[in-house]
Amino acid sequence: MITFEKVTKKYPDGTVAVDDLTLEVPQGTLTVFVGPSGCGKTTSMRMINRMIDPTSGTLTVDGKDVTKVDPVKLRLGIGYVIQSAGLMPHLRVVDNVATVPVLRGESRRSARKSALEVMERVGLDPKLGSRYPAQLSGGQQQRVGVARALAADPPILLMDEPFSAVDPVVREELQTEILRLQSELRKTIVFVTHDIDEAVKLGDKVAVFGRGGTLLQYADPAFVLSNPANELVSGFVGADRGYRGLQFFHAAGLPLHEIKTVVDDDVDGLMLEPGEWSLVTRADGTPYAWINAEGVEVHRKGNSLYDSTIGGGSFFRPDGTLRQALDAALSSPSGLGVAVGEDGQLIGGVRADDVLKLLREQRRVPELG
């Protein structure tokens, strides 16, 4: 457990970076510090491993005051992931990952073997171990950073805006990877971000910081979205916080409607009425696009499927969330969100009004009529 008790960080020029912070980070949970630039979230996190020392107050890790622990020894027991990975460019990837175990006295041979295993765990091909960081993509470099932090199997992991430098697609992949790893490893993680969507997706608990280093609210993500503590929190989480909150409601129970389908090789023989849509699938049955009567005619004239169809929008799984289901329905040109199984095969379709109806039922709010 990590505990802040009335912790303040004040610099010699009078700037207060963190003001009277009191909170507990439970063991085995992922806690997100979120807020605008200059709110003290990174300073708070860096006091945990004594990259910065508090001016006053007490910060303990597993009951020990960190200011009374040798900082080098403290840091060797805490994983640290930063923006842009922070890899050493002159070392091969495997040696970057093996850094902390070697510093702790493990033989280089043993540390490298363990490093390759950790790389595989975070979704990296061990063959990349012989490369240098510059030879990897941004997403791969960030995975190496996570692997390095996990290599010595620390109980605590600090992550300082680790995914802010990668593109949105890679960022979502890395977020999903962290959730998968956390479900297996149950580390005590403190994750810093300025992105409220990232915070509510990842966090077991979310600490919202305001300018001047003050803690505005500390609660589970669903509560922060549904019950912001004040106008500052409300403004930060955004006017669309109700939509974000859909990710805390399960899609199980949504009625699934039958969807007309056609295999892509058979599009020319498809008969559709004006306004009617068909879902185009590959030969293996996985859906990927929509086509209407106009699109069929375009294809019959010799145009490609790419020019004749409209992207399928986002798909969702029935064991997912209402937010994913609503995204699928709203992004579909037919108005039917596509539900698929683990194998990518079509299960059925869902309408936006089905999502809203189930949401009302889950919230136990009666329909107005």
State pLDDT tens for residues 55-96: 999 999 999 999 999 999 999 889 998 877 688 999 999 999
pLDDT at 197 (0 to 100): 87
Using pLDDT thresholds of 50, 70 and 90, give the confidence band for residue 259.
Answer: very high
For tokens 């945990």, name the residue.
48
Residues 25, 122, 46, 105: is their CA dihedral positive or negative? positive
Check residue 364 and give its pLDDT: 57
Query: Looking at 39-43, 183-187, 233-237, 290-294, which range is the least confident one?
Result: 233-237
pLDDT in tens, 315-334: 999 988 888 899 899 999 99
HSE-CB at 142 with a 13 A cutoff on CA atoms is 23
* pLDDT in the model for residue 239: 64
Average pLDDT, the chain: 90
Please give the DSSP secondary-structure letter assigned to residue 365.
Answer: P
- Residue 8 corresponds to which amino acid? T
> Among the listed ranges 86-100, 142-156, 175-189, 234-248, which one has the minimum average pLDDT value?
234-248
pLDDT at 56: 97
Mean pLDDT of 223-235: 88
pLDDT in tens, 129-155: 999 999 999 889 989 999 998 988 899
Residue 369 pLDDT > 70, yes or no? no
- pLDDT at residue 236 greater than cutoff 50: yes
Q: How distant, in Å, are the alpha carbons of 47, 245, 342, 354, 358 from that of 253?
A: 45, 18, 17, 10, 8
Sign of CA dihedral 60, 62, 64, 66: negative
Q: What is the pLDDT of residue 40?
A: 95
CB 354 within 8 A of CB 253: no
Q: Is the pLDDT of residue 220 over 60?
A: yes
| pLDDT top residue among 162 and 5 | 5
In the structure, what pLDDT confidence band is assigned to residue 363 with cuts at 50, 70 and 90? low
Q: For residues 242 and 187, what is the distance between their CA atoms, to the nearest angstrom?
A: 30
The Cα-based distances of 334 to 143, 304, 308, 338, 351 in angstroms read 38, 21, 15, 10, 9
Catalogue all structural domains in the chain, each as residue range(s) with its CATH number: 2-248 (3.40.50.300), 261-360 (3.10.580.10)
Nearest residue to 146 via CA among 176, 168, 169: 176
pLDDT at residue 226, rounded to an integer = 80
Q: For the chain, how far is it from start to end, CA to CA, in angstroms?
A: 50
- Rounded to two decimals, the pTM is 0.74
pLDDT tier, 312 (very low <50, low <70, confident <90, very high otherwise): confident
